[in-house]
Structure 1
Amino acid sequence: MTTKTQKPPELIGDQHPITAWQKKAIMKNCQYNEDIKNEWVQWATGENSRTSLRSINQAQAKKIILAQTGGEIITQPKEKFFATFDVNKPSHRKILSLMRTAQWTKVDPVKGEIPDLAELDRFIKSDKSPVRKPLMQMSDQETQKLIQALNGIIKSKYK
């Protein structure tokens, strides 16, 4: 029986090799064009012989991303969004209903007033949430705990 070997965690630091999310960001900014990517690597390294993203370090990757985005750089990968839901699950629809009751809504120019999922995301990630993990990964019991917490917010709001 073979065991799976885990990939070692990526090291963060300017002298360490480029990270996976940096590679993806550079390629996306290059519109997945190899020739453009090659030019960026040559520019960042100052060497015409180097064209592989694997040959650059994190500082050089940051330099490329900064130049590509006009100075805007994200130092960490985007944080996971916890408020993604499945409209086919009754418990998720109940959460949307409770959000409306709690007035966690925003105005959409096309659809009108809709639940503010960013507010739900902040709540789930906060210390006040009974379960701190993405809604799609919650078990039925955990979803019920979240529903109870939202009911408590509504009760306190409309005393």
Structure 2
Amino acid sequence: MKHVLSTSGQRKSLYRLFGYCKDTEAMHVGEMTNGSAKTAKELTMHQADQLKKKLVTNWAKFNIGNQQHNYILSLMRQLGWTIPNDKHGEVADMARLSNFLKSKKSPVPKPLQQMDTKETSKLISCLESMITKKYK
């Protein structure tokens, strides 16, 4: 069966989702293809659709019963990653966390719900380090 390569429209959409960052593109394309490709041009139409679906998903969904997830919310507030909310004043900016997790800056580029305890600890260490640098 012949695999049809991604269309220019699919690639443009993916480039926007990558933030036009070649490193982020290589990271996500490599993960999608198990390392066999590095650019969106090398993806099939199906792979491009799957990757887009993955990237538009909210990676910051958390489990309220998970202490690590609650601590991440606290760290986000300390970093100033908040948005105004009519009912609750300031709340954590989950879109910002989701975009961070999808970026090459994330120590664990995967959705929060899919991280194990060790991976979540890595994320926490990264956020704590960012707070330390912010207040130095």
TM range (shorter): 0.5 to 0.7
Question: 1:8-157 maps to which residues of 2 (within 5 A)?
Answer: 77=53, 79-157=56-134
Which runs of no fewer than 5 residues in structure 1 stay unpaired? 1-7, 15-75
- Give 1:125 shift: 0.9
Structure 2 residue identity aligned to 1:142: E
Residue 130 of structure 1 aligns to a residue whose secondary structure is coil
Residue 99 of structure 2 aligns to a residue whose secondary structure is helix
- Give 1:11 shift: 5.5
Which contiguous aligned blocks of 4+ residues in structure 1 show a shift greater than 3 angstroms?
A: 10-14
Identity, % of aligned pairs?
Answer: 42
Alpha-carbon RMSD across the aligned residues, in angstroms, is 2.1
Q: Tell which has more relative contact order, 1 or 2 (C-alpha 8 A, sep 6+).
A: 2
Structure 2 residue identity aligned to 1:89: N
Call closer, same or farther: CA 1:11–1:79 in 2, change over 3 Å: farther
Residue 90 of structure 2 aligns to a residue whose secondary structure is strand
Structure 2 residue identity aligned to 1:129: S
Give the distance between the partners of 2:102 and 2:6, measured in 1 at CA. 27
Give the distance between the partners of 1:98 and 1:13, measured in 2 at CA. 39
Residue 124 of structure 1 aligns to a residue whose secondary structure is helix
What is the TM-score normalised by the length of structure 1? 0.52
Call closer, same or farther: CA 1:13–1:140 in 2, change over 3 Å: closer
Aligned residues: 90
What is the TM-score normalised by the length of structure 2? 0.60
Give the number of the structure whose residues are more often helix, by fraction. Answer: 2
- Give 1:152 shift: 0.7
